[in-house]
Amino acid sequence: MDSNKALRELSNTIGVPEQTLQSILALFYNEHSQIREQTLLRVEQNSQQELATYIHKLKGSSGSLQMHGLRQSLVLLEERLKLGQKLTVEDLEPLYLEMDFVIKQYQLDKVSAQS
């Protein structure tokens, strides 16, 4: 799906004008473009509580923006953390793949540069 069509469909789904949505997506990208670095740092420092907080925040943002695959990855990670399971770098790979998909789908790196 081309990014303009994806943006238009998301705009219609959540009832936000495309230009406003582009600004929201740019903010989302700016805040979460360092997701790999942020999560890896927390895993390496064994900061599971900070990781849980970050994952919860990202889950909320992705849910609000109808990014279902990304949100589902985050739900699964959050559930494991709530059960007291320690996450590893390997556990985070599905999250990175979903974030890469979202960035490509909406061309967030380009939207961010335009804002």
Give the whole-angstrom CA distance, residue 113 versus residue 98.
Answer: 21
Question: What's the pLDDT band for 108 if we cut at 50, 70, 90?
Answer: confident
Question: What's the pLDDT band for 84 if we cut at 50, 70, 90?
Answer: very high
Q: Per-residue pLDDT for 113 more than 80?
A: no
Mean pLDDT lowest among 9-18, 41-50, 91-100, 102-111? 102-111
Least Cα distance to 78 among 43, 51, 40 occurs for 51
Q: Per-residue pLDDT for 115 more than 60?
A: no
Q: Which pLDDT score, from 0 to 100, does residue 112 have?
A: 63
Average pLDDT over residues 20-29: 89
Whether 22 and 114 have beta carbons less than 8 Å apart is answered as: yes
